[in-house]
Chains A and B, each alone.
Chain A
């Protein structure tokens, strides 16, 4: 399983990214986009880089694929095991010779270099990564599953790693990607996923962030959507003591569609950040974002959504909505939606609400004999219902629901302890 030395062409890309990362430095709260999330305070930047994983998948992290089938597995950022690829799909390591043209064309292309993010750091430090290519016209029925595992313990001490994934869907191709993140112990996972959709291509992308609660998870997702291509994302953030999911989407061809539904669930002292930048650069694009957060105990949530409609992007339809439910006085929510519109013939809307459990509804349910805890759970699930309804893949929706119930149980225990 020992890796060949990195090829020179990849090293060049890596050096570039590293230089950019060094030039911008790590984000601090003085950076507008990081105002509400104190990455420095997390201490994650000091975690040493994990060594290339040489073993099999650790037993404690035995793979539980969400959608069935054989997942592609990364442990501490290293690709582990073998895989087969369905017809019309190429799956390879980032450093494989076959991947070169794709990597050179797309790696780092969507995520703006000028903005301070941790993506450049990933580009400088990733040990390994995967490229998925769906060839033109291939419409995959079965989902492709990628599992990123974090493994650290007392012996290893906290570790950092930088999982990297590039997904290219060529003209008219379609695929479903299920991406999950789990782990044990303290670690910093700095993930970058880039998605390039060619004309008329489609990707249904599900992400389940259920990392170790000692972990720090920062993910940067770049999506470029060409003409008539459709990206549909659904995200669950439930893990990590500090997590940020940062999205850069560019609707760069006519009539492109970008949809993102996010649910996040914070308990104890978790800090969960969702930050999105959606750019409409071509006419007729549609974007829709819906984020629903449930925060209990002392958990803090952040939603920052920026939608930019460029002058060329006439007939754009863009909506974003963020709603948070606070279940205890110690929980909090910050952030803001932002619209920047330079075209004149557009439909745009945004909204942002923070509320607590409807006491009247709670009484109504209890007056029918439903225990208070169960009634709360029903109301919380009802709050998340429209996000969950958009998760069209059944096993993924079931996983979302199961993770949500587990977290709420944990939140309740947290209250009883006090």
Chain B
């Protein structure tokens, strides 16, 4: 198998590109006797998702809700405590499936910090040629690929190939990071706050480029961001997380046009108004997100939810399909015992 050719589509357009089932990651909390407190951060708890071929799946949620942990689990930078993954029909890291190395070739990641992710001692050309060379591409072909990659991300190869990271602006460095993610011709790119550190005028350039690359190369994106407007702009479907759990998942139209979960609603109406004559009068919810070390029992949002009732503290709401979207809230589960729920 030539590791440098684009991977063939295997299961056809209807087969999800990536399926994750019951992913869990708990981090031990240092401290206490012998440096082990016995407590854990429940960063990601039994999370399942699927990514369709050619779509952009947006992931939103507040700081610490587990977005980056999900990303790192999906490319196996960290090992899940539990859960399985399937890439275009092939189980990952299982006897009859594909290896983690193969997963990491087909799924690439771009991080927020454009500087830290580039080796300061390598020129841009050396950085971009590194992985293709390691996969056995001859030097002359690697040079051609570097030129092609720089062209693709809008950097003139003549001008940029020989530069070092510190000789680039933040926007240019992020273009290089994207070029590097493309170097092995992946199918899925996970963008974790990839435009968040950029100035707005530069962010717009990079967003336009991401849209173009996706069409040109037939890519699939997972786009993680705390910027709800940018997620709305790019995504086909959106996943909303709160304290390690999915609270709502649906089409971008459903999530932004008709949000069902009280947290999604709060998050959307917490966006600053762009209309000076209609400024926000009241914050949609009070207080800070609770500590993920000891998340609230039952529904993790209950400590800030204006609709919380007894059942919310006792029973964890399942992620239930409501038609246009899936929602984890007792108000949407018939017969849950919540006064606003339909009769069973």
Q: Do A and B come from one complex?
A: no
Using CB atoms and an 8 Å cutoff, list the residues of chain A in contact with chain B.
none
